[in-house]
């Protein structure tokens, strides 16, 4: 399940951030405003250079969507700067060019005073950079707040009728698979309208890079990150929480040599996660049916538009099922009658030609 809303992003790297987080180097992940942390007096000019082409795109009839402020701590900007940015985009929301204002911010920068200021503007969505709901991970990652601060911030967002987005990171210092999945479960208690999942990367110019060089931090492998995230994805699908993104958006700036020192980066990370979830979901059904190890052929009927995810890159899932269950062949059929994330499987016993059948209802 994915969030399909159109977003027009304006990146303000590190703007308003009280300090640089141990894992964060926004100048490494986007080409926007490269250089040092932008000063408040420079933001207006920087904003115009980014906002103008987005406005032109929206006026030209592109899909309606929210104008979004990303890359910094939006609500920690100086009040005059914050108001200036909000007043610059609000008229276009009121005219219907954009559907609302969206921004990302730290949970500890969502106070009642800030919310009172925001009430005067057409804010629609607030994304909280929660990163983890483990006390240990927050402490070891030096986030500077505890779980109770996140809960208060989420409650404020709900109280003001805004859509709540929650961003989580996996593989932070002090993290484990159990702690990450527990964070996912606790995030559901915040009643989010959507979520983002990001694996932790070691970026040049960060404290995490220093820890990595000193042998004090080991990032997840790509396979570990995909496996953790696939489990989280399955939890969120069952909870019917839309997932806006998994993995960093590919950017030429990010992919320059020396920007990512280590960690599970892949330009199609979300696709790999969905492939793994299909593998594990179908495994659970087949194993529950007694593992058809003597079947000659496994027949899978899946949603037509999810066919490539079921098959996997270089038919990796088909190879997995053939080897695990001793199959001669796996045939996957895309069916327009199967709902999203649902499937039916049948297998033919090579000795008796008898058939078995199992199904998973769509989520």
Does one domain contain both 110 and 208?
A: yes
Residues 302, 203, single domain; the answer is: no
Task: Give the chain's domain count.
Answer: 2
Tell me if 287 is assigned to some domain. Answer: no
Q: What is the dihedral of CA 235, 241, 245, 246, to 10 degrees?
A: -10
Q: Which helix (H) or strand (E) holds 142?
A: none
The answer to whether residues 43 and 268 touch, using CB atoms and an 8 Å cutoff, is no
Residue 272 lies in a domain: no
pLDDT at 35: 46
pTM given for the model: 0.89
Domain membership of residue 58 (yes or no) is yes
The answer to whether residue 276 sits within a structural domain is: no
Strand partners, 260: 203
Is residue 14 within 8 A of residue 26, CB to CB? The reply is yes
Q: Are 20 and 79 in contact (CB under 8 A)?
A: no
Long-range contacts of 356-359 (CB under 8 A, 24+ apart): 356/289, 356/292, 356/295, 358/285, 358/286, 358/288, 358/289, 359/285
135 found inside a domain: yes
Q: Are residues 159 and 213 in the same domain?
A: yes
The answer to whether position 231 is within a domain reads: yes
Give yes or no: residues 229 and 88 share one domain: yes
Q: Does one domain contain both 231 and 99?
A: yes
With b meaning 16 or more CB within 10 Å and e meaning fewer, what string describes 188-202?
eebebbbbbbbbbbb
Same domain membership, residue 317 and residue 168:
no
Task: Assign residue 115 the CATH number of its domain.
Answer: 3.20.20.70
Task: Tell me whether residue 278 is in a domain.
Answer: no
Domain boundary among 216, 232, 267: 267
Q: Are residues 182 and 322 in the same domain?
A: no
- Pair 118, 67 in one domain: yes
Task: Report residue 7: phi and psi, to 5°.
Answer: -130, 135
The H or E element containing residue 321 is helix 316-325
Instruction: Judge if 113 and 238 occupy the same domain.
Output: yes
Pair 238, 127 in one domain: yes
Provide the domain limits for residue 342. Answer: 292-360
Residue 286 has a pLDDT of 85
Judgement on whether residues 78 and 27 belong to the same structural domain of the protein: yes
- pLDDT at position 34: 47
pLDDT score, position 16? 74
Within a domain: residue 100? Answer: yes
The one-digit pLDDT tens for each residue of the chain (363 residues) are: 544 679 999 988 778 777 678 888 766 655 544 445 556 556 766 788 889 999 999 999 889 999 999 988 999 999 999 999 999 999 999 999 999 999 999 999 999 999 999 999 999 999 999 999 999 999 999 999 999 999 999 999 999 999 999 999 999 999 999 999 999 999 999 999 999 999 999 999 899 999 999 999 999 999 999 999 999 999 999 999 999 999 988 777 777 888 899 999 999 999 999 999 999 999 998 887 665 556 689 999 999 999 999 999 999 999 999 999 888 899 999 999 999 999 998 878 755 554 555 556 555
Both 139 and 250 in a single domain? Answer: yes
């Amino acid at each position: 399940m994915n969030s399909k809303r159109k977003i027009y992003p304006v990146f303000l790297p590190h703007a308003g951030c009280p300090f640089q987080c141990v894992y964060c180097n926004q100048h490494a992940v986007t080409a926007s405003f490269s250089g040092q942390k932008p000063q408040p007096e420079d933001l207006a000019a920087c904003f115009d250079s980014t906002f103008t082409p987005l406005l032109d795109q929206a006026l030209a009839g592109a899909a309606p969507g929210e104008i979004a402020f990303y890359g910094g701590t939006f609500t920690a900007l100086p009040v005059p700067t914050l108001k200036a940015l909000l007043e610059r985009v609000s008229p276009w929301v009121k005219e219907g060019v954009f559907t609302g204002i969206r921004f990302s911010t730290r949970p500890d920068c969502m106070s009642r005073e800030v919310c009172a200021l925001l009430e005067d503007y057409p804010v629609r969505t607030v994304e909280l950079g929660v990163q983890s709901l483990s006390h240990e991970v927050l402490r070891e990652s030096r986030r500077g707040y505890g779980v109770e601060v996140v809960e208060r911030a989420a409650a404020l967002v709900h109280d003001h009728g805004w859509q709540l987005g929650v961003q989580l990171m996996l593989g932070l210092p002090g993290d484990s698979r159990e702690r990450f999945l527990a964070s996912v479960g606790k995030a559901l208690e915040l009643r989010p309208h959507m979520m983002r999942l990001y694996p932790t990367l070691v970026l040049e110019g960060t404290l995490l890079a220093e820890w990595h060089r000193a042998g004090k931090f080991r990032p997840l492998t790509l396979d570990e990150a995909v496996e953790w995230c696939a489990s989280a994805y399955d939890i969120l699908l069952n909870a019917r929480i839309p997932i806006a993104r998994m993995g960093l958006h590919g950017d030429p700036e990010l992919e320059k040599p020396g920007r990512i020192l280590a960690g599970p980066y892949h330009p199609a990370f979300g696709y790999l996660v969905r492939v793994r979830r299909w593998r594990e979901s179908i495994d659970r059904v087949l194993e529950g049916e007694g593992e058809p190890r003597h079947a000659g052929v496994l027949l899978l009927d899946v949603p037509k538009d999810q066919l490539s995810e079921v098959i996997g890159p270089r038919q990796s899932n088909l190879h997995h099922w053939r080897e695990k269950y001793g199959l001669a062949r796996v045939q996957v059929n895309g069916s327009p009658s199967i709902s999203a994330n649902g499937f039916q499987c049948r297998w033919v016993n090579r000795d008796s030609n008898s058939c078995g059948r199992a199904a998973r209802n769509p989520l």
